[in-house]
Amino acid sequence: MRKKPRFHSLKKLKVRQDWSRWSLYSISQLKAPDLVRRTYFQQKWTAKSDTRAYHGEQIREKKWRRMFKRNLPAVVPMDHKYLARYDGSEQAAGRGAGVDANEDKRAPLATPYMQMAYFPIERRLDTAIFRSLFASSVRQARQFCVHGLVRVNGKKMPYPGYMLNPGDMFQVEPSSVMFATGARKTRTSTGRRIAKEKATERGTALSQTGQTPPPPTQALPQQPIREEPTPTELKKHLQSLMHDVEDVLIADVKAKDKQKFRAFRQTVRKAISLWRTANPETISTLDTQLAFLKTQVAKASAAAASTPSSPSSTSDDDPAGPLMSPDDQEKLKSAFEKLRFESQHASAWNAKDARLPYATPWRPRDYMAAFAFIPRYLEVNQNICAAVYLRHPVARPGLAEVPTPFHQETGQLAFNWYLRRR
Amino acid sequence: MPPRLRASRFSSAVVARSPTQPQSTSQPARVSREFSQTSCQQTTLRRRKFYEWLNGPGSALREPIPGSTNYLGAYDRYGNLVRAGPGWSRKSPTEPEPEKQLDEETSVNEPSPEKSGEEKLEGQETIDELEMSVRREEESKKKTKTDESDKLPPETAQDLQPFPLNKWFRSQPVLSEELREAIYQRVHKGGATVSLASVEFGVSNERVGAVVRLKQMEKEWIAQGKTLALPYARAVLGMLPTTPHVDTSRPGNRSKRPITHEAINDLIVHPATRQQLFVPVAESRKFTREDAGKAFDNQLLPADARIPHPELIQAERELASGLSFEERKRLATERIAQEQAKKTKEEEARQADLRAQKRVPQRRWDFVFKDVSVDSVGRNGRDPRGVGWRYGFPHEDRKKGQVKIPTKVEA
């Protein structure tokens, strides 16, 4: 039996509708067709075969030939001000008398009709799912449909070949979308072994200790008696705190910026431990930490203001009044807000969870950014993994809405192939 | 005996690598067996080139650039980011990057309409001059805020091409989260009609409807406590160019105008106008758009009636005729009221039709009785609207090979 050809072959480079590095490499190696040394039929054949490997590769050729339409849709953006001012007669007026002879008009942009040859395929449900970035390949989108993870207008649609109508809303199961677009889980034998060992350890520990693990009763160590912080000390600590606040404010809630948040938490804890009334157990939540810091700083600044003859206020810097200016306080507050959001984000939405089929915390898969675009005929809401098919893709002056990686000549040749006059 | 080569050798090696470490290309030289179905396991020239490209120019595309798009069209053959200044360097993922600004408008990256002379071709939307000036101003503000060398300049049209060979396609901006929320609030709470919101935000009619529908669903999900795909949404919106929301009600934005997302007055090219016509017309005759439409097709209406926002033309005409502001406002409200009345009348008629049908509720489905006519089969008896079994017209819907995929799903 003849071997099935590879889907991604380096011998015959074909661009496929997926986010793989093979496709990226093929796109980077694409060239304009050779129009000189080959016969017209050869050119058309190659163009057809290359474009069909990308557009609707999962559809049989006969089916596609029935879908093909020679009338390609296009729009022209109109200017309502022009339409209001002129009725169009000025374009023809005086033409016979040579009015427009010496008039140099800028040529309007060409409408790239020939890049639209495969527009009927964009109407298919599986392609639309791929285009709205819910699946990493059309084949995966197709699988989502077949597995019943896709709904059209709220009803389950198991047919990947369903032709979307303008206004149809389709939604994909968010967990599947996260799986399809997320980085893959690394499943190494070492990782598996470690997980297994840990599980057995836990099991043996549980069986040895008996049915009830003893509650962690630790005697609270005697709190060391500390002095109230001196104003200079306080100032120094506050400065470092504000430095961390700045860091947190510019940080984004991502896995990379975790260390900033962690550092901020550390400094906050340190700043609180300055006061002897502070007890790390009682002041553990973010809210209490913020409130505590505020009251203590206000108290300290008030005290410093009442005793202007304190030994440290000899120099020109004034520790008394602005230990914390109002906008600094604002900043501190927003930093705490961000910290809370981050912790929520990490715990509820993007937590580490070994049971999920993708790498956690979630991050986009490799090379996704190079393929991430959403055509204008779709309106996507990523939060709920739903999208609306607004209208059929159109060509407009200077722009074709069908995403195709090929040269315009290739598109034209492929279109000519399907005109059935070869 | 040497260990057997696994088929998944390459993929497993790639999966286990860290992002900084280059992908392995080392393959033991191995003579493939003759008459074997197994494909060649040697490091061929093609494979070597593939990994060379992947570890060289292609390595920049593996991870997204924070706060910017990362398409193939933005790089040259050697993998250098063309628009980046000499001081710019890609931050490694371990090192924190201090380039994200918290300011709402500036943190959202926007595509720049600036193009070089040869790139003039790419602009497809008619961005008028005021718009351009607004964007340029924002860009200049951004530029002055940070030093130029280590900051990535905004994307040009070429940087937004995911496919370098196809210059007719580029990644167009999508609506930002704030803009979607603003549109939803305007339509849902502010009570604006869809067409009014469309004009205000520069977003097409259909898109306004879709945004409201999707936002509504999102709110329902939040109310139900369902898990949203938030990390996914954040990552995707970070990779795409987005249209920022300019809130004109805020005191800082008084002088600005909302940025137009797309052309809202798109005229569909009618198939009848695809041909070239030569119509001899007397020079003395006033040959208008309407006449031109008639020349192509008798049913073809002029562009004024076929664009999605004909009311804008009406408003512009009233403005040109010198009516006062109050007068124009009165006329506009009259028009809107008329339209509303027409819509409610249509809706009532539809509801009345529904009520006239007899409905017998069952456990899973309802029986609905409709009036049918035997004449609907047409003269030759082959019209698909005909009901019942007709002689010589077989029912084929149970036959093999008949398409059973539904053609529409009721919303």
Which of B168, B215, B283 has its CB closest to that of A399?
B168
Q: Are A83 and B162 within 8 A, CB to CB?
A: no
B window 145-184, beta carbon within 8 A of A: 162-166, 168-172, 174-175, 180
The rounded mean pLDDT for chain B is 79
What pTM did the predictor assign?
A: 0.74
Q: What does B69-124 look like in DSSP terms, one character per residue? A: ---GGGB-TTS-BTT--TT--PPPTTS--TT----HHHHS--------GGGGGG--
Record: contact A379-B100, CB cut-off 8 A: no
Nearest-neighbour CA in chain A from B148: distance (Å): 19
Give the pLDDT confidence score for residue B203 in this predicted structure: 95
> In this complex, which of B50, B218, B239 lies closest to A372 when CB atoms are compared?
B239
Q: Do B121 and A109 touch (CB under 8 A)?
A: yes
Distance of CA B300 to the CA centre of its chain: 29
What is the 8-class DSSP label of residue A378? E
Of the residues A16, A80, A163, A173, the best mutation for testing chain B's interface (the one with the most B CB atoms within 10 Å of its CB) is: A80
Q: Which stretch of DSSP H or E encloses residue B327? A: helix B325-356
What is the model's pLDDT at position B31?
A: 53
DSSP reduced 3-state for A319: coil
Phi, psi of B243 (to 5 degrees): -90, 120
A166 vs B19: CA distance, rounded Å: 42
Task: Name the residue facing B174 among A73, A177, A374 (closest C-beta).
Answer: A374
Look at residue A102 in the predicted model and tell me its pLDDT: 61
CA distance A274 to chain B (A): 29
Identify the three-state secondary structure at position A22: helix
Q: Given this model, what pLDDT does residue B289 score? A: 92
pLDDT category at B191 given cuts 50, 70, 90 is confident
| Helix, strand and coil in chain A, % to nearest 5 | 45, 10, 45
What is the 8-class DSSP label of residue B22? P
HSE at residue A251, side-chain half, CA atoms within 13 A, is 28
Rounded Cα distance, A415 and A398, in Å: 19
| Weakest mean pLDDT among A91-100, A216-225, B30-39, B260-269 | A216-225
Cβ pairs A/B, distance under 8 A: 307
- Which of A76, A131, A157 to substitute to test the interface with B, most B CBs within 10 Å? A76
Task: Give counts: helices (H), strands (E), chain B.
Answer: 12, 5
* CA distance to partner chain A, nearest, from residue B187 (Å): 17
Three-class HEC string of B174-217: EECHHHHHHHHHHHHHCCCCHHHHHHHHCCCHHHHHHHHHHHHH
pLDDT score at B383: 80
Record: contact A181-B268, CB cut-off 8 A? no
Cα→Cα distances B282→A66, A97, A378, Å: 46, 12, 47
Residues in B closer than 8 angstroms to A401, CB to CB, are 169
Residue of A92, A390, A406 lying closest to B210 (CB–CB):
A390
**Residues B193, B201: Cα–Cα separation, whole Å:** 12
What is the ipTM metric for this complex? Answer: 0.77
CB-CB neighbors (< 8 A) of B93 in chain A: 256
Amino acid at B348: E
Which residues make Cβ contacts (< 8 Å) with residue A142, sequence separation at least 6? A58, A126, A160
Q: Percentage of chain B with pLDDT > 70?
A: 75
- Going by their DSSP bridges, the two strands A150-152 and A168-172 should be labelled as antiparallel
Residue range B135-175, pLDDT digits in tens: 555 555 544 444 455 678 888 888 999 999 999 999 999 99
Q: Decide if B68 contacts B241 (C-beta within 8 A).
A: no
The DSSP-derived string for A156-184 is: E---TTPBPPTTEEEEE-HHHHHHHHBPB
Residue A215 is predicted with a pLDDT of 45
Contact A181, A136 (CB under 8 A): yes
Least confident of A162-166, B1-5, B262-266: B1-5
Q: Residue B241 — very low, low, confident or very high, per pLDDT cuts 50/70/90?
A: very high
Of A208-217, A289-298, B98-107, B121-130, give the lowest mean pLDDT range: B98-107
For tokens 């675009």, what's the residue?
A373
Distance from CA of B374 to the nearest CA of A (A): 30
Which pLDDT score is estimated for A213? 44
Query: Chain B residue closest to A158 (CA)?
Result: B405
Q: pLDDT at position B118, please? A: 36
Query: Does any CB of chain A come closer than 8 Å to the CB of residue B265?
Result: yes
From the candidates B125, B169, B261, B273, which should be mutated to test the interface with A, based on the most A CB atoms within 10 A?
Answer: B169
Residue-level pLDDT at A51: 96
| Residue A347, beta-bridge partner list | none
Q: Identify the pLDDT of residue B53.
A: 95
- State how far the Cα of A213 lies from the Cα of A208, in Å rounded to an integer: 10
Residues from chain B that touch A381, judged by Cβ atoms under 8 A, are 180, 211, 214-215, 217-218
- Considering the segment(s) A21-74+110-182+373-419 as one domain, its CATH architecture is Roll (3.10)
Query: Residue A369 has what pLDDT?
Result: 94
The whole-angstrom distance between B281's CA and the closest CA on chain A is 9
* For range B350-359, the mean pLDDT: 90
Phi, psi of B242 (to 5 degrees): -125, 150
Q: How big is chain B by its Cα radius of gyration, in Å?
A: 30
Chain B contact set for A28 (CB, 8 A): 53, 57-58, 72, 164
DSSP annotation of B240 reads S
Paired tokens of A326 = 């109002």
The SS3 assignment for A66 reads: helix
Residue of A nearest to B274 (CA): A71
Residue B390 has pLDDT above 80, yes or no: no
- The Cα–Cα gap between A117 and A73 comes to 10
User: Across the interface, do B235 and A363 touch by the CB < 8 Å criterion?
Assistant: yes
- pLDDT tens-place string over residues B140-149: 554 444 445 5
Looking at this protein, which amino acid is placed at residue B251? P
Separation of alpha carbons A374 and B160, rounded Å: 12
Smallest CA–CA distance, residue A361 to chain B, in Å, is 9
Ranges assigned E (strand) in B226-369: 242-243, 266-268, 358-361, 366-369
Domain locations in chain A?
21-74+110-182+373-419, 186-203+229-304+349-355
How far apart CA A364 and CA B362 sit, in angstroms, is 48
What does the alpha-carbon distance between residue A135 and residue A172 come to, in Å, rounded to a whole number?
A: 9
Task: Give residue A105's Cα distance to chain centre.
Answer: 43
At position A54, the amino acid (one-letter code) is Y
Q: Do A383 and B233 touch (CB under 8 A)?
A: yes
pLDDT of chain A, 422 residues: tens digit per residue:
788 888 999 989 999 999 999 999 999 999 999 999 999 999 999 999 999 999 999 999 999 999 999 999 999 999 999 999 999 888 877 777 777 666 667 788 899 999 999 999 999 999 999 999 999 999 999 999 999 999 999 999 999 999 999 999 999 999 999 999 999 887 777 777 887 888 888 888 888 765 544 444 444 444 444 455 566 666 676 676 766 666 666 555 444 556 666 667 777 766 666 665 555 555 556 666 676 676 766 666 666 555 444 444 333 344 444 566 667 777 777 777 777 666 666 666 777 777 888 988 899 999 999 999 999 999 999 999 999 999 999 999 999 999 999 999 999 999 999 997 65
